[in-house]
Amino acid sequence: MSSSDYDHRTAFLGDWGTFQKTVFFLLCSSIIPNGFTGLSIVFIGDTPPHHCHIPVGVNISAEWKNVSIPIEANGRASECSRYKLEVLKSYSDRGLVPWVDVNVSAIEQERCEDGWEYDRETYVSTIVTEWDLVCSDDWKAPLTSSIFFCGVLIGSFISGQLSDRYGRKIVLFLTMGVQTVFTLIQVFSPSWIVFCSLFFVVGMGQISNYVAAFVLGTEILSLPVRIIYSTVGVCIFFSIGYMVLPLVAYFIRGWRMLLLALTLPGFLYIPLWWIVPESPRWLLSQGRVDEAEAILRDAAKRNGIKAPEEIFPPSQPRDKAGTMQPHNLCDLVRSSNIRTITILLCLVWMTLSIGYFALSLNTSNLYGNPYLNCFFSAAVEVPAYIISWLMFRYLPRRLCLFFTLFLGGLVLLFIHLLPQHMSYVAISLEMLGKFGVTTAFAIVYAFTAELYPTVLRNTAMGACSMASRIGSISAPYFIYFGGYYRALPYILMGTLSVLSGLLSLLLPESLDMPLPDTISHMQKITGCKMRHSSYSVTTARPEEEHTSNPN
The highest-confidence range among 265-269, 337-341, 357-361, by mean pLDDT, is 265-269
pLDDT at 219: 83
239 — pLDDT class (breaks 50, 70, 90): confident
> For residue 85, is pLDDT > 70?
yes
Residues of the chain with pLDDT > 90: what percent? 9
Is beta strand 109-111 parallel, antiparallel or unpaired with respect to 81-83?
Answer: antiparallel
541 — pLDDT class (breaks 50, 70, 90): very low
pLDDT at 485: 67
d(CA 194, CA 156): 22
> For residue 537, is pLDDT > 50?
no
Read off the pLDDT of residues 394-437 as tens digits, 9 standing for 90 and up. 888 888 888 888 888 888 888 777 776 677 777 888 888 888 88
536 — pLDDT class (breaks 50, 70, 90): very low
Residues 6+ apart with CB under 8 A from 257: none
Read off the pLDDT of residues 109-140 as tens digits, 9 standing for 90 and up. 888 888 898 988 888 999 999 999 988 888 88
> For residue 546, is pLDDT > 80?
no
pLDDT at 40: 87
* CATH code given to domain 3-47+137-521: 1.20.1250.20
On the CB side of 239, CA atoms within 13 Å amount to 24
41 — pLDDT class (breaks 50, 70, 90): confident
CB 449 within 8 A of CB 514: no
> For residue 323, is pLDDT > 50?
no
Compute the average pLDDT of residues 56-84. 83
The CATH 1.20.1250.20 portion of the chain extends over 3-47+137-521
Read off the pLDDT of residues 13-27 as tens digits, 9 standing for 90 and up. 787 888 888 889 999
Which of 148, 240, 241, 133 lies closest to 186, judged by CA?
Answer: 148
Compute the average pLDDT of residues 188-199. 94
Residues of the chain with pLDDT > 70: what percent? 87
> For residue 543, is pLDDT > 70?
no
> For residue 492, is pLDDT > 90?
no
pLDDT at 257: 93
Which of 81, 79, 98 lies closest to 89, judged by CA?
Answer: 98
532 — pLDDT class (breaks 50, 70, 90): very low
Phi, psi of 106 (to 5 degrees): -90, -5
pLDDT at 150: 87
What percent helix, strand, coil does the chain show, rounded to 5? 65, 5, 30
Compute the average pLDDT of residues 527-550. 40
In three-state secondary structure terms, 209 is helix
Q: Of residues 419 and 495, which shows the higher confidence score?
A: 495
pLDDT at 548: 34
pLDDT at 184: 92
Terminal Cα distance for the chain, rounded: 22
329 — pLDDT class (breaks 50, 70, 90): low
> For residue 314, is pLDDT > 70?
no
> For residue 154, is pLDDT > 70?
yes
> For residue 358, is pLDDT > 50?
yes
What are the Cα distances from residue 146, in Å, to 185, 331, 493?
Answer: 20, 29, 17
Average pLDDT, the chain: 80
Read off the pLDDT of residues 251-300 as tens digits, 9 standing for 90 and up. 999 999 999 999 988 888 889 888 888 888 888 877 788 888 888 888 88
> For residue 547, is pLDDT > 50?
no
pLDDT at 199: 93
Compute the average pLDDT of residues 322-335. 62
303 — pLDDT class (breaks 50, 70, 90): confident
pLDDT at 451: 82
Which of 523, 507, 505 lies closest to 399, judged by CA?
Answer: 505
Compute the average pLDDT of residues 442-454. 80
Compute the average pLDDT of residues 537-548. 35
Residues 6+ apart with CB under 8 A from 394: none
DSSP β-bridge partners for residue 102: 98
d(CA 41, CA 162): 28
